Amino acid sequence: MRVLLTSFGSYGDLNPYLGLGQALQARGHRPLLAMTPAYREHVEAAGLDFHPTGPAGDVTDRQLMARIMDPMRGAEYLMRHLMMPMLQQCYDDLAEAARNIDVVVSHPLSFAAPVLCEKRDLPWADSVLAPLSFFSSDDPPLVAIPSPVVAAIHRRWPSVMRPVNRIGQWMAGRWTEPVQKLRKSVGLPRGANPMVAGQFSPHLNLALFSSVLASPQPDWPANTLVTGNIQHDAVHGRLTPEIEDFLAAGPPPVVFTLGSSAVALPAAAHFYDISAAAAHALGLRAILLVGRSTENWPTMRSGDVLTAEWAPHSELFPRAAAVVHQGGAGTLHSALASGKPMIVVPFAFDQHDNGMRVERLGVARVIYPQRYTALRVREALKALLDDSDAAERAQEVGEAVRAETGAVTASRALEQLMKGV
């Protein structure tokens, strides 16, 4: 098969498709990844073919990321000011990439892909990276409202979130109205809400996340398959000698990271300052993955706290005592697979819902950014590290996640799709 994979977002939106592309290639197929130009080197380093498509946002731009990840208005800004103005260009880019393609795999933000596939009558599969994307009423997601009060209400009465869920869907439909105009311009009738039913394929929908996070619900779209985790983070390289030496010099450290998107937020500096101080106060060793910005380096200096730019999560997390992270899908799955307990500090998008789900699994605690104080972090870390049940449960969940073969499962599903065609 000649398979076009298209995605947009952070490394968490890149790596699963690299893993899927490599699995397809190993099975004798020819994958082509259409993504923002900034990811060309990573795609080609993975041995895969690349085709550029917009928008070309810079995840290291702190002002841009602050607007995108604003918990109340970030989604609207992303849709109206980044995605929709580039919609026609994305359609044209994908139309060029899709020449001689047999099947397309789209991402929730690849709004042009379903339109192109319908226009050309191309077989296609939608893919999502987190349960939130289904907007299920049977398993109501914790939508991106950064409030511990809302989270507590959701925890006790999940059905209360159903009206909020519907409001979110309605707003998403307004933000993505240009997709309907694109459909009209290419001779297609008005379609369903592009963020909800309109993103899903009548042929195959791949839930590229671990089955421990969610199981299929009655109101999920037809032909949906939970593939399991696709682990791939070679984009970061290997552990540096400095990190290896630090790991060898003492007990397992607590790892603090904000992934590849939240790490660019202005609030990241506060996160790392508080994290370093809390670890030091508890007498814990810690590794802080602070990204490229020197503003994120903590003011406190200690021989037991190592500050580094990046590290491959799949290699570092299993050697940690615990992981404190933002809850993005990529980081979350690496933390789950490591078998270590975690604290989730959710900032935006699916992170709130992801945090709720791992907390429900018994492997995590959640601290909201506005409540991320030295006292709360110390208390949460001490309680987490003293909780033998959480440690045991994390190991059980880790074994289950590591046993999943998401890339192979998704590849086989695409092969079955083409057989049906």
Q: What are phi and psi of 81, to 5 degrees?
A: -110, -15
Percentage of residues in the chain with pLDDT exceeding 70? 91
Domain count of the chain?
2
Q: How confident is the model at residue 145 (pLDDT cuts 50, 70, 90)?
A: low
Predicted TM-score (pTM) of the model is 0.91
| Alpha helices in 69-189, H assignment, sequence order | 74-77, 87-97, 112-120, 148-156, 161-175, 177-185
Read off φ and ψ for residue 105, nearest 5 degrees.
-115, 120
Angle between helix axes 148-156 and 351-361 (nearest 10 degrees) is 50
* 124 and 255 together in one domain: no
- Residue 73: predicted pLDDT: 76
Lowest pLDDT segment from 170-174, 364-368, 405-409: 170-174
135 with 159, same domain?
yes
Strand residues in 181-220 grouped as ranges (E): 204-207
Report which of 101, 123, 84, 80 is spatially closest to residue 34, judged by C-alpha positions. 101
Query: Rounded distance, CA 105 to CA 17, Å?
Result: 9
Angstrom distance (rounded) from CA 211 to CA 397: 10
Q: pLDDT > 90: what percent of the chain?
A: 69
Q: Is there a single domain that holds both residue 254 and residue 323?
A: yes
Per-residue pLDDT of 260-288, as tens digits, reads: 888 888 889 999 999 999 999 999 999 99
pLDDT tens readout for residues 33-61: 999 998 999 999 999 999 999 776 666 66
Confirm if 17 and 33 have CB atoms less than 8 A apart.
yes
Residues 210, 282: one domain?
no
Amino acid identity at 167: I
Is the model more confident about 63 or about 373?
373
Segment of 80-89, 147-156, 203-212 carrying the highest mean pLDDT: 203-212
Q: Which comes out higher in pLDDT, residue 394 or 260?
A: 394
- Top mean pLDDT of 185-199, 204-218, 225-239 is at 204-218
Q: Are residues 184 and 275 in the same domain?
A: no
The CATH number of whichever domain residue 42 belongs to comes to 3.40.50.2000
Do 282 and 216 form a contact (C-beta atoms < 8 A)? Answer: no
Question: Which of the residue ranges 1-15, 188-202, 240-254, 344-358 has the most confident prediction, judged by mean pLDDT?
Answer: 240-254
CA–CA gap between residue 147 and residue 267 (Å, rounded): 16
What is the residue range of 336's domain?
234-402
Q: Give 305's contacts (C-beta < 8 A, 6+ positions apart).
A: 276, 279, 280, 285, 286, 287, 288, 298
What span, in angstroms and rounded, lies between the C-alpha atoms of 279 and 307?
A: 13
Residue 110 shares a structural domain with residue 223: yes
Listed in sequence order, the residues at least 6 apart from 234 whose beta carbon sits closer than 8 Å to its beta carbon are 18, 45, 46, 312
Q: Are the C-beta atoms of residues 305 and 298 closer than 8 Å to each other?
A: yes
8-12, 13-17, 68-72, 283-287: the lowest-pLDDT one? 68-72
Lowest mean pLDDT among 66-75, 108-117, 129-138: 66-75
Residue type, 350: D
Predicted confidence band of residue 92 (pLDDT cuts 50, 70, 90): very high
Tell me the torsion sign for CA atoms 304, 310, 315, 320. positive
- Residues 137, 201 within the same domain: yes
Q: 291-346: per-residue pLDDT in tens? A: 988 889 998 888 999 999 999 999 999 999 999 999 999 999 999 999 999 999 99
Confidence grade of residue 14 (pLDDT, cut at 50, 70, 90): very high
> Has residue 144 got a pLDDT over 60?
no
Q: Which residue has the tokens 């731009």?
A: 61
Both 380 and 335 in a single domain? yes
**Same-domain check for residues 198 and 246:** no
- 270 lies in the same domain as 414: no
